Amino acid sequence: MYTTINESGILNNYANEPKMYYASYPDQEEQRLYAVQGAFATLLVTTLVLVALSVS
């Protein structure tokens, strides 16, 4: 851990910074899985809205 002491004698602690890395673009399989998840989420929300409307 990196610490410094200023002229007033106050101790300053600095957090360790993590290494930076770049995200990679998803391949075709991951894109397909994201599309399936989006379709399922849309179906779920639509079903919940329709049930709420039919109950009220």
User: How does pLDDT run across 23-34, given as a tens digit for each residue?
Assistant: 999 999 999 999
Give the residue among 42, 44, 22, 23 at the shortest CA–CA distance from 34.
42
**β-bridge mates for residue 2, sequence order:** 14
**What does the pLDDT read at residue 25?**
94
Q: Which pTM value belongs to this model?
A: 0.58
**What does the pLDDT read at residue 2?**
65
Residue 4: pLDDT band by 50, 70, 90 thresholds?
A: confident
Alpha helix stretches (DSSP H) within the chain: 28-55
Residue type, 34: Y
pLDDT higher than threshold 90 for residue 5: no
**What does the pLDDT read at residue 1?**
53
